[in-house]
Amino acid sequence: MVTSAGAGAAELLRRHEGSDLLRFLTCGSVDDGKSTLIGRLLHDSKTLYEDTLASLEKDSKRVGNAGGAIDFSLLLDGLKAEREWFTRIFEQYLEADDRRSALVQLIDARHEPTVLDIESVERMMRTGRPVCIVFTKSDKVNKSSQKARITKALRQFNARPETGVVSFSSITGAGKAELWAWIEARLSL
């Protein structure tokens, strides 16, 4: 059981220290929060070097988009080339790598799912692997509107009952314990 995101991440890393690399796939349209989510998880798992964290804090103040808070996307968003080749790489990865424990689709909670989002979820579900849909930027949407958007999106995706659903905010940390718990449960499969 995850008691807190930090403790859960530390325990997760300790238990799997000698095991193969954790492999999971995050997907989402441009600016859905893929890099921000992964950056936040890396930060919370205490795997960043002190100089990397100091640089991240400095860059967040200078060029970040998190309103003065740490902009976790800056850990991974050095290049925007991913926007041009995402679909091709996604298809190749789903076909070529069968070692994934889990698949994670990110959806910006502020917007309707795009055609690419719907296609990505459909592709993921066809693999037969566990799928979690993470609705990012939940701090930017009020709770009642968020619930309605998520319900509508799940219908659009034809989500199965076993599909994981997490409302996540990298700014406030909302949903990180639920996401860690979902990931941890997939590791034991």
Q: What is the pLDDT of residues 115-146, one digit of tens each?
A: 678 878 888 888 888 999 999 999 999 988 88
- pLDDT tops 80 at residue 2: no
- C-alpha to C-alpha distance for 40 and 122, rounded to whole angstroms: 26
Question: What pTM, to 2 d.p., does this model score?
Answer: 0.58
DSSP state of 64: -
- CB 138 within 8 Å of CB 171: no
What is the DSSP pairing of strand 102-108 with strand 131-136?
Answer: parallel
169, two tokens: 């905010």
C-alpha distance across the termini of the chain, in Å: 15
Q: What is the pLDDT of residues 30-57, one digit of tens each?
A: 778 888 888 888 888 887 888 888 888 8
- CB 121 within 8 Å of CB 159: yes
pLDDT of residue 127: 83
C-alpha to C-alpha distances, 41 to 48, 87, 125, nearest whole angstrom: 10, 24, 24
Strands (E), 51-138: 102-108, 131-136
- C-alpha to C-alpha distance for 165 and 94, rounded to whole angstroms: 21
Q: In degrees to the nearest 10, what's the CA dihedral of 135, 35, 15, 10?
A: -90
32, two tokens: 């859905």
